[in-house]
Structure 1
């Protein structure tokens, strides 16, 4: 049943990702005791599953994927599943900030990722709704036309299948668009579920409900989990946000952003293609064939994790917008997703540090993880096998573009500091007794700041509001009923259990008298 909020707005649709709702839950076992493998992969999303598949295909004898929940239920299970090298307006920026050689690497790698997915789908005959579609970024105002034209020129210079379009079959005015031909879309959990079934046999493993807690040592590396210890010669962190980091390396170079999706059935035929605007707030549209009809995925309303005080507003804004342009027959699904973004907008893929030959990571996909996640798996597979890869340079985690990165790091540190210090001095607006069932709030009880949540039965759950990662104060997400950290994006269930890294432990219980 949809949720009724104090504002009177009823959240529409089923609170679940379409990709998860239309696939049976995986049933891989948890780790039981200690094991030793050649390669351990933390995270069961597109990077982890694709890397394990490619490594096994290349002849690596023993690979273990370690997933804290069920595979494909994290960011990968909440995507819009566009398979495209058109990552908004990226190429003009890459040419300016990174130069021709590295911009070319980015373009070529993401085009190659499209074809890698297509090749796997065809060779394995995977039924995952893979279909070729053009991808568009359109100008919703005259002010954006210049950016669109610059992007077309930059993409064409890099050999990408780009062209300028004057008009699009959309039910509102546009002022031009960049079109990329021969892109694609698919059902990501059907695709990756098929790859997972090929991994979990013959000395290779998928361990679900097994949370990695600590990574230590070298030759072999030990991964301490809540179910035992995995020792491996090589380790890939594909955990969305790294759980193991040396101080000052990544936490100030990454932030996390939330965005929202509605699965809508409309009265009109949806045009051929995938569409996103050039402006803020983002409005993205693409259709998914299901049960003989089309489900239109309406996406946007992004904000930094922990900073959207009323997440229900974002769903409401999306609903108002789609109803203003289409005849909406029903809203069947709603979900939100969380993406990690690097300060220079290019993912980090490669060795964790230049001095660590056996630890690798992939993160910072900036909402385009279907292709860049596949790129990551291809690069990391080559690195582990000792092969050179022509795309490594642009994604190198140790890169540092001095002028731009220094400015953006200072901005990121300022945001984190605001969340760390500011939330401790902001006034509390509600008493614990005022919290209604299904609601959470930061309150003061007996003079102490408490993260308080009242469940449907009326029981009050009280937690220490300090994030278990670095101690920032969490905030309540009223749409998802979660506690979200505004510093580095850790997320927790209403009752405190950890959902998203970099935190690996839940919020501490805080016993107080109501």
Structure 2
């Protein structure tokens, strides 16, 4: 253990899991269902469908669990911030209730699956709290409690919480949970393979074509021929003329794991204001540890990312004291126009092409709910929650306003990146540092590694041509328009971009 913040980001979930590995797809193959994306949605759907006798093939562009699922807080809860009051206002009571019940069903499914399959994944029941120390947020919590009452959600308004921090009001939701997500999913992978399902890693899907069947096309030119396709690749790798890149925005948040000096009373906590804070317990190597995170911001925008880690460190030190630093990592999430995920046919006239995206940092339950819904869709069974998640929905007033806001922000950063001039040069770079420089007038991303080697890339994002910015916290090049992220060598880390940045000598 270390008294210093880890220099490089690494997820505890990934570091503590011996994930089952799979080979790359090297031939054409047939299946009943082709699934793209090896996170909680893709793996849960593959598990469900394989148990129903469906031949399933799952593809992932990298190793399994390397996306948002491997970098989550892993809370299993239907308390998704202050949302139910706004859902009632925008969607109506019926659809707000559908959202809650779908996530409650997902929670119950996870617990039942753990029990039935005998999965050791550190599942722990805990209460969830939204708290505030701001007079301005008290009314918001009171309105949220009224929404709970309308929807039949059991909740309690409190003046005190077990955590010893200043608060003025809190909203409690009992009997929520948290777990080790990759130990859970790793077990499901074994069952999928036992049921005849096939999983291929490091296999990037780039398109879907339709003739007599759906054809998933990989970067290497191979095909998965199937009746249905599930696109569970976080950001949809295929748009299908649904224009999802204009109807969602990406944001990043940060987590630190550490051994605290003070004892922790239990519970899962998020605050009602900004900067965001999230707190939960975890056992690491037999010792009590905490995950403390937050600092949500739009991808590729704002202050240097390392400062978000530093802000979380200060909050953790002031609140709990830090005995030892263990891990730090970050995650990227997508938010839709109305904050409800898109789950269902990618467009209304393509019922065999299904997607799930836009979980807004609550992927453990939303992602599981998506797998249950899409499984029902493929099996021809009615799902009571399909309407609220329909990807083709559009709510006039709030959606138009948010749509305009998202795309105005994209246009602003597209122009800003093209005109930016930093005045920096390669000579200004320190080891393990990245900068935007100009080489012969061309905007170039430069990173000097710890051995002194400089890596140069064209900073124009290969998605729609925005200019990427340096991420000092995770040492990546991030697009401020649609959230594509690239390594220091230009490789795609996450989409919607499919092609790497051009490398320069």
User: Please, what TM-score do these two structures have when normalized by structure 2?
Assistant: 0.97
Structure-2 residue corresponding to 1:6: none
Q: Aligned to 2:233, which of 239, 262, 282?
A: 239
Q: Aligned to 1:187, which of 176, 180, 185?
A: 180
Structure 1 residue 229: deviation in Å? 1.6
What pairs with 1:10-409 in structure 2 (closer than 5 Å)? 11-12=5-6, 15-60=9-54, 62-227=55-220, 228-247=222-241, 249-409=243-403
Structure 1 residue 31: deviation in Å? 0.7
User: Against the structure 1 CA distance between its residues 237 and 464, is the aligned structure 2 distance closer, same or farther, given a 3 Å change threshold?
Assistant: same
Structure 2 unaligned blocks of 5 or more: none
| Per-residue CA distance 1:168-210 (angstroms, 9 max, x = gap) | 1222211111111111110000000100111124431110111
| Per-residue CA distance 1:91-129 (angstroms, 9 max, x = gap) | 111111100110110011111111000000000010000
2:415 aligned with 1:421, yes or no?
yes
Match of 1:373, SS state, is: helix
Structure-2 residue corresponding to 1:431: 425
2:473 aligned with 1:479, yes or no?
yes
Q: Distance in 1 between matches of 2:219 and 2:119?
A: 34
Structure 1 residue 267: deviation in Å? 2.0
What is the Cα-based RMSD across aligned positions, in Å?
1.6
Are the counterparts in 2 of residues 258 and 304 from structure 1 also a CA contact under 8 Å? yes
Are the counterparts in 2 of residues 440 and 451 from structure 1 also a CA contact under 8 Å? yes
| Per-residue CA distance 1:340-359 (angstroms, 9 max, x = gap) | 11121110000000000100
Are the counterparts in 2 of residues 432 and 444 from structure 1 also a CA contact under 8 Å? no
Are the counterparts in 2 of residues 467 and 507 from structure 1 also a CA contact under 8 Å? yes
Are the counterparts in 1 of residues 74 and 364 from structure 2 also a CA contact under 8 Å? yes
User: Please, what TM-score do these two structures have when normalized by structure 1?
Assistant: 0.95
Structure-2 residue corresponding to 1:504: 498
Match of 1:200, SS state, is: helix
Structure-2 residue corresponding to 1:7: none
Q: Distance in 2 between matches of 1:272 and 1:160?
A: 22
Structure-1 residue corresponding to 2:462: 468
Are the counterparts in 1 of residues 47 and 189 from structure 2 also a CA contact under 8 Å? yes
Q: Distance in 1 between matches of 2:404 and 2:379?
A: 37
Match of 1:184, SS state, is: strand
Are the counterparts in 2 of residues 2 and 13 from structure 1 also a CA contact under 8 Å? no
Q: Distance in 1 between matches of 2:195 and 2:263?
A: 47
Structure-2 residue corresponding to 1:445: 439
Structure 1 residue 58: deviation in Å? 1.9
Moved more, 169-178 or 257-266: 169-178
Structure 1 residue 246: deviation in Å? 3.7
Structure 1 residue 336: deviation in Å? 0.6
Structure 1 residue 27: deviation in Å? 1.4
Moved more, 314-323 or 226-235: 226-235
Q: Distance in 1 between matches of 2:380 and 2:203?
A: 29
User: Against the structure 1 CA distance between its residues 248 and 374, is the aligned structure 2 distance closer, same or farther, given a 3 Å change threshold?
Assistant: closer
